[in-house]
Amino acid sequence: MATALSPRRLTHSLSDVTVPEAAQPALYSLADLLWGESEDLAQAALESDYIQGIAKGTLKPDAYGQYSVQDVAYCHYGLDDWRAAADRATHAGLKTFAEARVKSWAKYTKETYSAWHIQDPSAIKLCAAAQDYADFESEVARTYDPIYAAVVMTPCDRLWSWLAQQLAPDAAPTNLYTFWIKENTGDSGARHLERIIDANADLLDESKALEVFRRAMLGEVNFFRSACGQPPWDVFQI
């Protein structure tokens, strides 16, 4: 199925990317701290009706389809965000990674538009949750210090692989959505981004980075929740 693997999780075009390690072994990993401080949101995503429907094979195909079509549109905006990040990036590893992501997302969108008979992805109206998420990513990619692009883009990579890994032990061959679980367990994209964050940790304000990270995680949670008609989590819960 064309959208089993979101382009946010694609790893092709990344084989040439080299991200430098921090100059000194870190006493702590900022990337690990950001994830650790956001595990409540990861759990909320796991408990969403959408992900539980994937886990149990009970997700209505209409819900999967409408989420997937919106994900294609979301990635239409995301491709421009990665282009902005690539144009503005000056930090270790980020420019190379962003340029690789532009290539992989462009390839994905071209293939998926053809497979789903989409001529104009901008004509797909995003739900409020997806639009808010896309708008926030665009704001960060275009107006924050460029290194924060790595922070705002990491949650989706890390969350999707984490979710798939939680579901994998109980994935039954008869589950219609086992393909989604199997195809999203890899985390090479997340690891690349986390290395960029740690290599540039001295340039990031920890509290600001955590706010950006959690808002992006909340975007993921509410996008999942919207697919099955669940109300969004309030922003004040982050």
Burial 178-216 (b: 16+ CB within 10 A, else e): bebbeebbbbebbbbbbbbbbbbbeebeeeebbebbbbb
CA distance 62 to 227: 9
Domain ranges of the chain: 27-232
* pLDDT for the residue 234: 77
* Crossing angle (nearest 10°) for helices 128-143 and 148-167: 140
| Domain 27-232 architecture | Up-down Bundle (1.20)
Contact 231, 163 (CB under 8 A): no
Q: Where are the beta strands (DSSP E) in 43-197?
A: none
Q: Please tell me the pTM assigned to this model.
A: 0.88
CA distance 199 to 89: 14
Q: What is the pLDDT of residues 175-216, one digit of tens each?
A: 999 999 999 999 998 999 999 999 999 999 999 999 999 999
CA distance 155 to 1: 24
Q: What is the pLDDT of residues 14-58, one digit of tens each?
A: 444 454 544 444 567 999 999 999 999 999 999 999 999 999 999
